[in-house]
Amino acid sequence: MADTISVVVLHYLQNKTWKDTLRSILSQDYPSVELVFMDDCSPGFDINEVGDFIRNNSKGNLVGFELYRQPENVGTVENFRQAHDFCTGKYLTHIAADDAYISNSVLSSYVECLSKKQEDVLGVYGQSYLCNRDLVRLGDTYFEQENAMKLNTSDSKEQFFELSLRCCIPMGATAFIREEYIHHEVSNNYRLVEDWPFFINATRKGKRFFYGEFDALLYRDGGISRNISTSPTLIQCFSDTLNLYENDVFPYISVHSICRQMRIYYEYNQYRIVASNHAGELSSKSRIMLLRRHPKLMLSLLFERIKSAKLISLFILTWLVGTIVLISLKTAFLSQICFTAATFCCYSLVGFVRSIGKIFTFLTSKRKS
């Protein structure tokens, strides 16, 4: 008999889409499937309807199912974590209740890849396609296949670096051997972002992820996992992302070269800027607190600022010398040239002053806490 794969369905306010998700699971050709449905206390949701739907649409390959409704809203991460208490299969995968498997052979592809994986591979994953509300493909994929193939030949340190820049692996299209997965559980330091911290921590501890070169998932544009337009959700997502960098990336970036550390810092700083523009000031560590443990990185960033300021100074000096020469030659169009030179020098001077200000801000600024 085939080993069972447990499929965890994570549901919150997806009343109009969960049936599509369950149909795609119940139509799978893998011979032994366990289904675990987790609702995060969605208002007005009747979980008994889910049980009726499963019983009416299941085939002979469904070996069991569990339904659980949280007594109160606990957030995506905690709902995700608690689901594993109900799982008994050898294999494990997760799917949001607004997504669907792309074909009836996805679970079989997961198991085939897992049975052939190398020892240091924690999970295998397939491609995901962005779709509209009717699950019609919009053309965009979750990742570039060329990049995923490159990651297949990368060690865990390289994957840790790539994941420090962006979350390039889709949790909803990833499967695991359950006994191996439970040693790398999702962190409860986050509320909404469960996938990125998981991949970051696993690769940092020496595990890799492998792209199986198959299509796995249709994920809806505007689904609950991607619709963060409401203010509390938006703020929480930004907060989770900044905490990820501050707690699970920066303390460990010394394994990378200075150039790579700078790339990671710039990505983090971009998130800080976007978060500040969209969600206001968030509780976050100051940049000085983050960088003081990495003096080489701090000096490199400062040197980049100084180089920029020196370049502006060089422009000012060049135009001043040029203007003096033109005046001494008393050439035609002297007035126009002098005006142009003077204007440029003024703007350059402003730029120089701003650069000095940025250096001062970089060294002294702290975020509100």
In this structure, what DSSP letter does residue 283 have? S
Domain closes at, from 188, 220, 252: 220
Same-domain pairing of 184 and 331: no
| Residue 28 resides in a domain | yes
Same-domain pairing of 93 and 132: yes
Structural domain count, the chain: 3
What is the model's pLDDT at position 288? 46
Same-domain pairing of 215 and 241: no
What is the model's pLDDT at position 192? 85
Spell out, as residue ranges, where the chain has pLDDT lower than 70: 222-231, 278-369
Question: Which phi and psi (to 5°) does residue 62 adopt?
Answer: -85, 110
| Residue 226 resides in a domain | no
What is the model's pLDDT at position 55? 97
Same-domain pairing of 330 and 198: no
pLDDT digits (tens, 9 = 90+) for 294-330: 555 555 555 555 555 555 565 566 656 666 665 565 5
What is the model's pLDDT at position 111? 98
CB 137 within 8 A of CB 131: yes
Same-domain pairing of 108 and 43: yes
What is the model's pLDDT at position 210? 98
Same-domain pairing of 126 and 242: no
Give me the domain span that covers residue 280: 231-284
The continuous run of DSSP H or E covering 247 comes out as none
Amino acid present at 154: S
Question: Which phi and psi (to 5°) does residue 363 adopt?
Answer: -85, -20
| DSSP 3-state percent helix, strand, coil across the chain (nearest 5) | 55, 15, 30
Contacts for 39 with CB less than 8 Å, ≥ 6 apart: 11, 12, 45, 47, 50, 67, 68, 69, 70
Same-domain pairing of 99 and 47: yes
| Residue 289 resides in a domain | no
What is the model's pLDDT at position 367? 42
Same-domain pairing of 13 and 72: yes
CA-CA distance, 181 to 8, in Å (whole number)? 14
What is the model's pLDDT at position 369? 35
CB 195 within 8 A of CB 205: no
